[in-house]
């Protein structure tokens, strides 16, 4: 690390504070909605080596990352986006952080509204994807085998 550059311990990208000590490809994974592969592709589009630490990035490189993270769907191939054929737009888009959380909540609310099986399972707090409920997913007093308490005489 050159002496004229200052090391940033916290870098703010996509409304998320990222640890400056982490390598760029793993540091970007701190943003909700970005995994390893998407982080790699975004760094490649920005022209930043993936082994560089986030705290060592220059202001120009951080600005390039911010510009790409404003609309990551344009820089990712169709198979790497997290919302293929979005219900509202019909386009392949990639959502990050709070936008992703809101989209997932809206999807679940839509399933509940149209009374889909998955929506009903969400409403009741039961497993949605076909898991068994006889021996797993037990909450509260539903316990398998319980030993009776001994009464002291």
CB 54, CB 27: distance < 8 Å: yes
Q: Is the pLDDT of residue 1 over 50?
A: no
d(CA 94, CA 31): 12
CB 14, CB 31: distance < 8 Å: yes
d(CA 19, CA 46): 19
For the chain, the domains span 10-79, 96-124
Average pLDDT for the chain: 87
CB-based contacts of 9, cutoff 8 Å, min separation 6: 19, 20, 21, 55
Q: Which one, of 1, 34, 2, lies nearest residue 15 by Cα?
A: 34
CA atoms within 13 A on the CB side of 119: 12
Confidence of residue 149 (pLDDT cuts 50, 70, 90): confident
Given this model, what pLDDT does residue 143 score? 63
Given this model, what pLDDT does residue 105 score? 94
Torsion sign (Cα): 52, 24, 60, 65:
positive
Q: Is the pLDDT of residue 144 over 70?
A: no
Given this model, what pLDDT does residue 2 score? 47
pLDDT (tens digit per residue) in 56-65: 888 899 999 9
How many CB atoms are closer than 10 A to CB 144? 7
CATH number of 10-79: 1.10.8.50
pLDDT (tens digit per residue) in 27-69: 999 999 999 999 999 999 999 998 999 998 888 999 999 999 9
Given this model, what pLDDT does residue 145 score? 67
């Amino acid at each position: 690390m050159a002496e004229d550059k200052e090391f940033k311990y916290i870098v703010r990208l996509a409304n998320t504070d990222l640890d400056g000590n982490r390598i760029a490809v793993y540091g970007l994974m701190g943003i909700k909605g970005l995994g390893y592969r998407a982080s790699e592709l975004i760094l490649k589009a920005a022209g930043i080596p993936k082994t560089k630490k986030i705290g060592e990035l220059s202001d120009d490189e951080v600005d390039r990352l911010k510009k790409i993270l404003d609309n990551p769907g344009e820089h990712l191939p169709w198979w790497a986006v997290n919302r293929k054929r979005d219900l509202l737009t019909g386009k392949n888009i990639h959502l990050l952080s709070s936008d992703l959380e809101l989209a997932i909540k809206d999807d679940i609310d839509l399933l509940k509204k149209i009374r889909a099986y998955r929506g009903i399972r969400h409403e009741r707090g039961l497993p949605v994807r076909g898991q068994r409920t006889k021996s797993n997913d037990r909450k509260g007093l539903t316990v398998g085998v319980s030993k009776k308490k001994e009464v002291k005489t």
